[in-house]
Amino acid sequence: QVSWKLADHPTLPKGKTLALIVLDGWGEYKPDEYNCIHVAQTPTMDSLKQGAPEKWRLIRAHGKAVGLPTEDDMGNSEVGHNALGAGRIFAQGAKLVDIALASGKIYEGEGFKYISECFEKGTLHLIGLLSDGGVHSRLDQLQLLLKGASERGAKRIRVHILTDGRDVLDGSSVAFVETLESDLAKLRENGVDARIASGGGRMYVTMDRYENDWDVVKRGWDAQVRGEAPHKFANAVEAVKKLRENANDQYLPPFVIVDENEKAVGPIEDGDAVVTFNFRADRMVMLAKALEHQDFDKFDRVKVPKIHYAGMLQYDGELKLPGHYLVSPPEIDRTSGEYLVHNGVRTFACSETVKFGHVTFFWNGNRSGYFNPEMEEYAEIPSDVGITFNVQPKMKALEIGEKARDAILSRKFDQVRVNIPNGDMVGHTGDIQATVVACKAADEAVKMIIDAIEQVGGIYVVTADHGNAEDMVKRNKSGQPLYDKSGKLQILTSHTCQPVPIAIGGPGLAAGVRFRNDVPDGGLANVAATVMNLHGYVAPNDYEPTLIEVVNN
């Protein structure tokens, strides 16, 4: 039985409107020409940094601070928002899958038993992101699963690949496909009929999120399930090399691998097993719905094979989606949002579609929906569809700012929480000029929200979920930009391992509130207790410590 009542903070008052602003992909890094935040005009964020030193600091947003396996793991939005919302550090999907594979427990679970029922007569299909980015999936986990499944009776295996170029360098897809092909060749030597069956770039095929554009999932479905695609190739390395002539890894068009009779080698059929091997939820939920829901109506599936489907993880605990999974997800319970709602804090959360689930679903511990609809309102601003965001780098920052401003001025909410996506979404395109425009737009949205907070005498907390726009090039150990063999600068489309800023302020911030200096390693998970304090409460004992203290002078 959870006791939801939070203790009153000894000195800090309740009832101040608090704006909680998460800049997506906004880290702190040395100022040079590849630091788009530095290059951009960001007067609002600059003034927070240059203001009172006890009201601005850096916090950790990558590696173990957010529950990832190693300090080399860059941060990402899922683990970042999980930590921000939950106030504690949970071992995340990446790590849980590592542990389950290393111990072999993955093969003893219900999920693996369920799919292995099809091994005798059917094909095992593995669908997921092919890279070592470690954000949604990892190649080494796929390799272990291929080996483990074939040793446990899978005789026919088809891999449906999604090329990355977003969490890893663009162009790296070729080497990942070559590696996978050589692994599959070894399986074939051992009598397993194992092949790549289809593919496509993650942003164009399958991996949409938050129901932004179902066509993305449909393109994948047609290739993976029906064996239909505009491009047909005899082998996947050739496919990726050829299609890269007109698109980057993120946006490769769908293709299927065909035999000498031009027949697709691996459509999904009745009696087959399917595993989506991404551990991260957001970009697998839509496919999981298409694979699992009887009454699915988002696009015409044409063919709905009777399969045994399991996710690497269960992607949505509330929806129990999918019903079967290989590894149990982190149990992120008692999140700050749930506590605050129980204690009467009325909450408004907002972003545009591509990040909407970040400030709701991820924030609430990978849980869909409201805790209490009477206390909460979540507003989604439709994202532009069918474009890459370097074309529209301002995205919906202004609209998010306006929505938040109106929510603050309405005085109907105690917490107004937003995610401002620009630094991240445009940073992922690798377009430096556009990312500079993106950072400026994000800064303007922050100003709009802070101005509203000034008007109502409230408090603001501005932070970020992980780095991205502050460094747009791959670098050597001493920080020098790296060039490829042809002398071209290696653009970094991915997130970074940099820390992120956090700033507090506003007329409602009680006198004497400042950042403590005894939590030097503070990270995103320390923000929840901090915010609870600013709402006038003490955080539960097992939350990571607050970043603030109140000094009387």
Is there a binding annotation on residue 465? yes
283 is an interface residue for ligand 3PG by CB under 6 A: yes
The CA distances from residue 135 to 186, 263, 289, 444, in Å, are 27, 34, 21, 29
Q: Which does 135 bind (CB under 5 to 8 A by kind): ligand 3PG, Co ion, none?
A: ligand 3PG
Catalytic residue of the set 3, 77, 198, 383? 77
Report the residue from 170, 424, 431, 471 that binds Co ion according to the rule CB under 5 A: 424
End-to-end CA distance of the chain: 41
- Catalytic site residue 77? yes
β-strands 255-257, 193-201 pairing:
antiparallel
Q: How far apart are CA 426 and CA 435, in angstroms?
A: 5
Tell me which residues in 144-203 interact with ligand 3PG (CB under 6 A). Answer: 166-167
Give whichever of 388 and 533 is closer to ligand 3PG, judged by the CB atom: 388
Site string for ligand 3PG, 250-279 (x = CB under 6 A): ------------------------------
Binding of ligand 3PG by 135 (CB under 6 A): yes
Q: Does 248 sit near ligand 3PG (CB under 6 A)?
A: no
| CB environment 303-334: b (16+ within 10 A), e (fewer) | eebebbbbbbbbbbbebebbebbbbebbebeb
Tokens of 115: 């799919």
Q: Choose among ligand 3PG, Co ion, none what residue 535 binds, the Cβ cut-off being 5 to 8 Å by kind.
A: none
Among Co ion, ligand 3PG, none, the one that 471 touches (CB under a kind-dependent 5 to 8 A) is none
DSSP H stretches of helix in 282-359: 285-292, 336-342, 353-356
Pick the closest to residue 401 from 462, 357, 345, 457 (CA basis). 462
Q: Does 94 bind ligand 3PG (CB under 6 A)?
A: no
- Token pair recorded at residue 398: 């202004």
Cα separation of 526 and 356, whole Å? Answer: 22
76 is an interface residue for ligand 3PG by CB under 6 A: yes
Q: Tell me which stretch binds ligand 3PG (CB under 6 A): 70-78, 214-222, 402-410, 474-482.
A: 70-78
C-alpha–C-alpha distance, residues 114 and 119, integer Å:
10
Q: What letter does residue 523 receive in the DSSP assignment?
A: B
Nearer to Co ion, 279 or 339 (CB): 279
Q: Measured at CB, which residue is nearest to ligand 3PG? A: 77
424 binds ligand 3PG (CB under 6 A): yes
Alpha carbons 199 and 252: distance in angstroms, whole number? 8
- Does 347 bind ligand 3PG (CB under 6 A)? Our answer is no
Note the residues at the interface with ligand 3PG (CB under 6 A).
Answer: 24-25, 76-78, 135-136, 166-167, 283, 424, 428
Residues marked active site are found at 77
Binding residues for Mn(2+): 24, 77, 424, 428, 465-466, 495
Residues in contact with Co ion by CB under 5 A are 424
